[in-house]
Structure 1
Amino acid sequence: MGILMTVEESILGTGERERREIVGYIQMLLDSINDLMVKYKQELKNMGVINRLGILTEIITMHKYNPEVYMGNYWEELLSLINIIKQDQKLANEVKDIEELIEKINSLKELVKF
């Protein structure tokens, strides 16, 4: 198995496997955020985050196969908006799956070092 990983890594290049994993998790994250925006549109609007959240998800969707594009400022801003949403008691439970995906993406991000 170790030889297979070495061959795969030499074919894909350093960090490529993690980049691919990030792309998979990003798709799940975007789906979850879009569901949240549809389901809780009014609450997110009242919190003042819906417009920027929509813009960020569009930017990330456009570049989802190129994590190096959104892992800088856009990613940090998205995390900031999720933290604002978490503060609402009603929505705190709704973002648990989003938080789990973010944790997975962040750990992969550390390995790739964008």
Structure 2
Amino acid sequence: MDLKMRNTFFTTVLLGTLALAGCNATSNSVVGTWEGRATAEEAPFSFGAVTFAPDGTFTAEAKYGATTRAVSGRYTTEGERITLAGQGIPPRVYEVSTGDDTAVFTDQTTGKSMTLDR
């Protein structure tokens, strides 16, 4: 996967995470600030702080190796799916599962997932 595709994937994951925050009980459980947990599979990409607001907006910090990019936009939820729409990126849909203090976002296109901790 080339750098541009990876950047798009991780930006989408961020947006998906943010989408959880606004539409239902699942979304209410993600409102607040989260920290990305990078895995060896995701390296050299990781997410810094991600904040989901109750009004359906989000802000996030995406890290791509030595580069950090701020991302913001809107999210919507439907069941276990989150749709993230941010500036300069197409809307992306993720399957989301939440635990006590974790949320796992899985990209429906690639099958890759990212875990965020509260």
The normalised TM-score by structure 2 is 0.32
| Rg (Cα) greater in structure | 1
The normalised TM-score by structure 1 is 0.33
More helix per residue: 1
More strand per residue: 2
Q: RCO greater where, 1 or 2, for CA within 8 Å and sep 6 or more?
A: 1
